[in-house]
Copies of this chain bind each other. A is one copy, B any other.
Amino acid sequence: MKYIESMQNTRVKQWKKLLGKKERDKSRKFLVEGFHLVEEALKNGLVEDIILKEGTDLPVKWDVELADLFTVHNEVFAALADTDTPQGIIAVCHKPRFELEEGSLETVLLIDRVQDPGNIGTMIRTADAAGFSAVILGDGCADPYSPKVVRSTQGSLFHLPILKGNLGDWIERLQTGGVKVLGTALQGAKPYREIERADRFALLVGNEGSGVSTELLQKTDQNVYIPIYGKSESLNVAVAAGILMYGLKN
């Protein structure tokens, strides 16, 4: 266990950079905060460094053989933490790498330009719960490795493949593989309960304000909507994705 006191320490400066997307993309590393999430990362063999706030103990049961351990001054810890009341533990992790076998994609969530980190994280968590095979993020989505997304996934980003890619290409690829692609739209769409539940399908959801882009909606096999029975104009995108993932799945 090494102790680091100074904010000027080279390693601290390097860790701090991981709060930004640029460094996360370049290094393929990211920060994970809190006991539950660090434990999930350890189980998946992704942890490089464990950073403890002074006075915080490592759970005895944990297997941390492969990680470097550091205790840091409160001020250093506060500079790395993203939560208001941190639990005193942060890990530097490698981004998981996923190999996708073409035929293995049975149910997929495609996300078009959803910007709120909490919404992205919650959708990843729900896709995991609903037993989806993968989540694919198009351009303009919040970075899935930002601290807030990581936290909202509650560990699900270690469980299922999260990919980035061109959604137009992905729709074609899925269709070629026999997966029906369902977009979400208000016009030219069917109420989701009129769609037969299926074993294999992809669900495409979109931006908080403008929904899925018209261009992508034209490529889908069918578009669906959730009926609004009251006076609200729309649903939160993460709630809508949850209703549809569970409502369409066999």
Q: Contact residues of A with B, CB < 8 Å?
A: 118, 122, 125-132, 152, 154-156, 159-160, 226, 228-236, 238-240, 242-243, 246-247, 249
Contacts and interface: CB of A to CB of B under 8 A. Distances in A.
Given A235-B126, A236-B238, A230 B160 contact: yes
Specify how many copies of this chain sit in the oligomer: 2
A130 to B, nearest CB: 6
Contact of A131 (B126, B156, B230, B249): B230
A102 B136 CA distance: 47
A15 B22 CA distance: 41
A234 B129 contact: yes
Given A122-B236, A247-B247, A129 B242 contact: no
B247 A129 contact: no
B118 A232 contact: no
Contacts of A127: 230
5 contacts: A126-B239, A129-B226, A129-B235, A156-B232, A246-B247
B228 A129 contact: yes
A228 B129 CA distance: 5
B236 A126 contact: yes
A172 B125 CA distance: 35
A159 B234 CA distance: 13
